[in-house]
Amino acid sequence: MAAPSQAIAPTDGELLQAQADLWRHSLYYLTSMALKCAVELHIPTAIHHLGGSTTLPDLVTALSLPKTKLPFLGRIMRLLVTSGFFASDGSSGDGTEAVYRLNPLSWLLVEGVESEDHTYQKYFVLGTVSRHYVEAGLSLADWFRKDLPEPLPSPFEDLHGVPLVHESTKLLDEELDRIVEEGVAAHDNLAIGTLIRECSDVFSGLHSLTYCCGRQGNTSAKAIIRAFPDIKSTVLNLPRVVETTTPAAAPADDAVSNVTGDLFHTIPPAQAVMLKLVLHFWSDEDCVKILEQCKKAIPSREEGGKVIIIEILLGPYMGPIVYEAQLLMDMLMMVNTRGRQRGENDWRQIFTKAGFSDYKIVKKIGARGVIEVYP
């Protein structure tokens, strides 16, 4: 029998700090709910239309809210400023006399911005704080206690009966399915301009590229084509994505073609295959199967063949705040899918099992890594 651990005897200061930390971690969900409220009220867009900064009374007027809600909105805004969602000048104690401004984070939640580097993130927020996501998180302890057959369903699938980000998700809730698809597409397409600027050597010299996305990849594919017009690009989508793509959303450039396919069976051949924020939805075993198909689709390394992978690269290299964000994204995958976020050692093992000879981390961009994998 193991000996009991020695009792911890915190100092008075440590005890008070521990109490404050307990409040913080137990109540963080209220920050998420406040953010959801701000998104649904279109507060970032309203501030944008007011010139990028506003007082609380002007914000209440712009949002057409009852005047009686002004002090309550001030308390919401005070929390969101403290949490880094907005900037503020000259804040008073209750937040009612402050001047609120957009910052880079809230700029992502402004609707209608015409900028290549802007991708409206409303649906990412609404998806992650949706009732179905939250209920899956609340079921974690019950999920751990169950002796479930392999392959293990996610807590989301076990609770709701259908997997997330799947053609059957709409059988659970059509609105949830739409929000998740929109949110994943917005998340996937964010920062494609940064990627092209920071990693131009990855695409330089390519004559053909298959972009495997599974959902609305034309935005990223067309951005690559604009920067590298000599690349002939094919976008491999799931069948339902192709079927639901409207004519207005179809690419105008003949260099981009849409094909219907399955990552596990056939990938259109090209000099390079690109998997941008795809593999984290899948188990290690499924990632090996997908990469084996990628390997069949590309020529030898001597002929320039490679697989380009863009994924969160777990590790504390960007500091504790970004690392915590990475770990939260891993929890998002664990609760809602059968996939995971991975570190370099995890990727190395997967590449080896899929039959690749070498890989290179080209660059770490924020929380993500750009990896070239060679046959």
Please enumerate in sequence order all residues whose Cβ is within 8 A of that of 130, keeping only pairs 6 or more positions apart, or say none. 176, 179
Q: How many CB atoms lie within 10 A of CB 25?
A: 9
Is the separation of the CB atoms in 42 and 63 below 8 Å?
yes
- Give the separation between CA 33 and CA 306, rounded to whole angstroms: 43
Contact 263, 236 (CB under 8 A): yes
Calpha distance 278→309 (Å, rounded): 9
Question: Which pair of tokens denotes residue 349?
Answer: 């093992």
By residue count, the chain amounts to: 375
Contact 110, 44 (CB under 8 A): yes
Burial class (CB in 10 A: 0-12, 13-18, 19+), 117: middle
Return the closest-CA partner of residue 195 out of 366, 341, 344: 366
Strands 208-212, 272-276: pairing kind:
parallel
Instruction: Answer yes or no: are the C-beta atoms of 351 and 284 closer than 8 Å.
Output: no
Residue 120, sorted as left (phi over 0), alpha (psi -120 to 50) or beta, turns out to be beta
As a whole number of Å, the end-to-end CA separation of the chain is 51
Contacts of 240 (CB under 8 A, 6+ apart): 167
Catalytic residue among 48, 132, 160, 280: 280
280 is catalytic: yes
Q: Which residues are catalytic?
A: 280
